[in-house]
Amino acid sequence: MEAFAGSKIHVPVARPVPVWALLVLSLTGGLILGVATMSARLLLPGAPGWIANPGTVCAVWAAAAFAVGAVGCGHRWWTCALAGGLTQAGAVAGCHVGAAILLCGGQVLHAPLVWGAVGLVHGPLLGVAGAWWCGSSGWWRAGAGALLGAAPGAAGAFELLHRADLPSAPGTVWAQVLLGLAAPLLLPGGRADRLRSLAVLAALVPLGAGLHLLAGAVAAPV
């Protein structure tokens, strides 16, 4: 089965979710996810060691973009990309804008803007990947699963290789690496799909770690 049929992603479903419902679901789901992230950061004892870790946050938000792309498979690829981007826009708004309000404007907006820009890049990418995974086969499907694993895997690899000392929660870093490896293996599919996904993942993780390094340098206070 090819990844595309015309300009639509070909899927074995009779009728996809309506576009308006997909986009509303994406934006509201992103808002809820962002508020949950912000609430955990502010309210849970000891949470900043793992909730506030940019790699953890990006991995969770990337999974949301992948999920809405899979739900929207059958629509045009740019619809799935838009849905993935809306999850990230909603998450950034729910997390950082909500935190700024609750903290009475005490939050520096430079880093949220940078990570928000990162989310608006990988959100559409993961949205399309979710649709590819749902509606394609072969290397297209394998690459989509690898993209899902690359989000936490690259974050964990960046922490392990770039930092002279591990963060306060080293278990979180190793969990990111293991989750990155496990994600393409846990997705439904055959043995060939999983082997292809691991091969693509091996190429994507170093690239993603480099992007984390670049984003971290830009987001660092000057």
Q: How many CA atoms lie within 13 A of 80 on its CB side?
A: 29
pLDDT at 112: 62
- The answer to whether the beta carbons of residues 184 and 132 sit under 8 Å apart is no
| Cα–Cα distance list, 122 to 84, 87, 101, 127, 222 (Å) | 8, 11, 26, 8, 25
- The answer to whether the beta carbons of residues 63 and 151 sit under 8 Å apart is yes
DSSP annotation of 5: E
Secondary structure of residue 16 in the 3-state scheme:
coil
pLDDT at 6: 44
- The answer to whether the beta carbons of residues 51 and 109 sit under 8 Å apart is no
Q: Which regions of the chain are under pLDDT 70?
A: 1-15, 44-56, 98-116, 162-172, 212, 215-222
pLDDT at 25: 93
pLDDT at 101: 62
Q: Where are the domains of the chain?
A: 4-219
pTM here? 0.74
One DSSP character per residue, 103-166 reads TTT-S-SHHHHHHHHHHHHHHHHHHHHHHHHHH--HHHHHHHHHHHHHHHHHHHHHHHHH-SS-
pLDDT at 21: 93
